[in-house]
């Protein structure tokens, strides 16, 4: 079975593959954000969504943000994504 994330990781040179297994974030045209590996949502409103990851926290700022899908380790965020910061 084809795994998009594994294909990208395999093409990375000079990076320890084991360090790339904590979380994955894909931003599609600033309108859709897909996340694998979150450990819980801490803030959710129409301008900001924050969630925990293994070694920190991610804050997404935008407009008209809607959490359209949430599972125990994945989420799908829709809206106008302005900024994604990792702390």
Q: What is the pLDDT of residue 26?
A: 93
Query: Alpha-carbon distance 49 to 43, whole Å?
Result: 5
Q: What is the pLDDT of residue 21?
A: 75
Count how many residues are written for the chain.
87
- Residues 78/44, Cβ–Cβ less than 8 Å: no
Which residues of the chain register pLDDT less than 70?
1-2, 17-19
Domain that holds residue 47: 23-86
**Paired tokens of 63:** 């407009």
Q: What is the pLDDT of residue 4?
A: 74
In tens, the pLDDT along 40-55 reads 999 999 999 999 999 8
Q: Is residue 32 part of a domain?
A: yes
Q: What is the pLDDT of residue 68?
A: 95
Q: Dihedral sign, CA of 72, 65, 42, 8?
A: positive
Domain count, the chain: 1
Q: Which residues pair with 59 in a beta bridge?
A: 50, 85
Q: Is residue 28 part of a domain?
A: yes
Read off the CATH number of the domain in which 45 is found.
2.60.40.2000
């Amino acid at each position: 079975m084809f795994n998009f994330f594994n294909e990208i990781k395999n093409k990375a040179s000079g990076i320890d593959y084991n360090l790339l297994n904590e979380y994955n974030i894909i931003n599609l045209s600033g309108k859709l954000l897909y996340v694998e590996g979150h450990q819980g949502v801490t803030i959710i409103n129409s301008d900001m969504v924050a969630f925990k990851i293994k070694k920190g926290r991610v804050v997404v700022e935008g407009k008209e943000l809607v959490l359209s899908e949430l599972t125990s380790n994945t989420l799908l965020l829709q809206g106008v994504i302005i900024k994604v910061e990792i702390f």
